[in-house]
Structure 1
């Protein structure tokens, strides 16, 4: 068994197999184990001798596993009969008219969400999408069978899954699907009694518009989010960040700096805020890197390059967050290319390309496209030109 699975699937669990699986139904568990290994659907299909279509149907919850298929998957992962037992438990099931106890459901799926976010940050969207869909189906079904505050808890957790599914859809380059999940997050959040998700959804729409190149819409959505009655300091900080980047793209330095100052103020307020948090934790962000990104958009390459270098050296990246590391590294390289330090820029990109290939992120690819555009304005040696063109090919898919 791979080391990555050993902690999760070899601890005693009181079951007859003595094996502990991640929480969730068979499809969620299957997709989570596959994501941990970094296997594609095709790889699992090959190892289990089960068709790719069957794997997809199992992970999305469209089909339940037969005993033979469950045994084949169990053998592929080396889970010692635990997957077979999980499949049997699913077939025994709970009667449709039974009420759901939300406690175990919420606790289990909160752990699933944390794990899927960790996997998504390091491997990109393709390894977590099926799990997200299956989990939201399970949660929305469970919410129908819960009552009172427990029902609201499950709807709120479903909303969190939907919000993250929207982010992963955006990372996969599907803005329409990202918006669909965002709208579901708003609806389910309201059913869970949380209106703040409606404010955060406007931040997500601003981000989607920004990557679509629609600066006016991005700024407009960010301003709406900041002024939303349910916006808390975290959401206002996120909104100010999006506004700052929008103004930078527009070339309005004064408005950009004003928005950055609002971002810093709201981020400071958010430290002690206890209202529901949506999106990345503001305390995990790096204001210096955000300012450097704005300087880059304003084409102040020299200041941007200096600030990127200072901040990336002063504050190491969060371990496992490959996506953010790749995006900021490529932005740094773009600034270096802008001041004529093409050799340094190419070295930085060469070290980052394997990560971008692995995570297959639309936002990272967009940043790579900006690097290519800037690098092509510089005179380059043959090796540099080869790297720039390899980057161009990766950026365009």
Structure 2
């Protein structure tokens, strides 16, 4: 859609609202000259500006749809979720449990009974929990290397298991390792590698009958689409997760939260609010059924629930704290940055200390909300805290938010102290939390 179409629509909406250029500029925190160039088609509007104008003029998303989403990174084209899942399942069958084990593994494993299998599973479950803790303090790249090595060993153990019960335990644990590897690949900015890990997670989880984890892979796919700015794919994947996760409150809650983010991205405020309300009810149901910080409710009802170590959690370990944070995230995309900042700030207080990556991501979003609402002095202490908390994380998700913040600050460099702040944010956006040489 050419920029002139947006400009004409913006001018018409502004005139109907009986607002001057300067009055609208004050509401969206852009200069009158910038808005004039947009209205006259001499400057392309950004998605952020479109959302702010939508909110300021009560346009209900009509302006946002005139601005195309940022082009997604190059990669294989995708169609409907079910078709993509079929393709990834076939690929996972080629490189899944039957993949060549590490050369460090012995060609022949000693005979093992169920007691030995249980000890091995316990060992690897504790190891995964430790890797998750490590990932909260350092770059994802070396952690991903450790996870990949464990995947090789577990693949070998699953293949050599002598009883179906032991094999299923190994496969379930292997699926959780693959899911964690997908997250670390995403945090490293390796989208295609993350997609491969997600596909392998679903294949192994279904073989292990860990259906809650298999359903959750569609929420992970929706997360990848979110950071590509693809609202349609976010909502499609979230809806597919909801369909597959029927009867599983935790999966349904996480799917509703992701769906709300996709709906906010496309400017659909009413449906976004409905999805957030639904997610809140589901989170309460999941917590009441014992699924809040641990296994899904359906796993607790399984005859083999005792075989899943408590360290294996489907989705974020901080799920009960996500409602307000995601709500604030959505308000920003709906062009209401001041409300977004207030909600995120309140939500951050509910996060446990250990959730360093999640805190860094939403702290970056908080800074973005302050900048978009014109509260520039509030950005400085937020950035000070963010750079301290995110030291060494090198998070691709955090970088994506800081890149948006850098663009927002670039047009405000004439304000006192903003030139230095922009330089700090721009440096951090190249490798969030790393040293200046990172």
The reply on whether 1:154 has 2:164 as its aligned counterpart is: no
Cα distance in 1 between the residues matched to 2:341 and 2:210 = 41
Q: How does 1:173-188 map to 2 (within 5 A)?
A: 173-188=189-204
Residues 287 and 145 of structure 1, relative CA distance in 2, 3 Å threshold:
same
Q: How does 1:208-357 map to 2 (within 5 A)?
A: 208-228=224-244, 232-271=248-287, 272=289, 273=291, 274-276=297-299, 277-281=313-317, 283-312=319-348, 315-357=349-391
Runs of 5+ consecutive residues of structure 1 not aligned to the other structure = 1-60, 65-89
Aligned partner (choices 165, 185, 188) of residue 169 of structure 1: 185
Aligned-residue offset at 1:176: 0.8
Residues 230 and 96 of structure 1, relative CA distance in 2, 3 Å threshold:
farther
- Please list the CA deviations of residues 73-130 of structure 1 after superposition, one character each: whole Å capped at 9, or x if unmatched: xxxxxxxxxxxxxxxxx8xx69436346311111000000111111112324123111
Aligned-residue offset at 1:165: 0.5
Residues 230 and 108 of structure 1, relative CA distance in 2, 3 Å threshold:
farther
Correspondence for 2:119 = 104
Structure-2-length-normalised TM-score: 0.66
Cα distance in 2 between the residues matched to 1:95 and 1:251 = 57
Cα distance in 1 between the residues matched to 2:242 and 2:219 = 9
Residues 205 and 356 of structure 1, relative CA distance in 2, 3 Å threshold:
same
Correspondence for 1:390 = 424
Aligned-residue offset at 1:180: 0.7
Cα distance in 2 between the residues matched to 1:111 and 1:230 = 30
- Please list the CA deviations of residues 339-379 of structure 1 after superposition, one character each: whole Å capped at 9, or x if unmatched: 22212112211331244451000001111112222223435
Correspondence for 1:20 = none
Q: Could you tell me whether the CA contact under 8 Å between 1:163 and 1:185 is conserved in 2?
A: yes
Deviating more after overlay: 358-367 vs 334-343:
334-343
Q: Could you tell me whether the CA contact under 8 Å between 1:170 and 1:208 is conserved in 2?
A: yes
Cα distance in 2 between the residues matched to 1:377 and 1:255 = 33
Runs of 5+ consecutive residues of structure 2 not aligned to the other structure = 1-100, 292-296, 300-312, 432-438
Q: Name the structure with the higher helix share.
A: 1
Q: How does 1:119-138 map to 2 (within 5 A)?
A: 119-138=134-153
Q: How does 1:34-53 map to 2 (within 5 A)?
A: none
Q: Could you tell me whether the CA contact under 8 Å between 1:346 and 1:384 is conserved in 2?
A: no
Q: Could you tell me whether the CA contact under 8 Å between 1:122 and 1:321 is conserved in 2?
A: no
Aligned-residue offset at 1:231: 6.2
Structure-1-length-normalised TM-score: 0.72
Question: Number of residue pairs matched?
Answer: 309
The reply on whether 1:198 has 2:214 as its aligned counterpart is: yes
Secondary structure at the counterpart of residue 207 of structure 1: helix
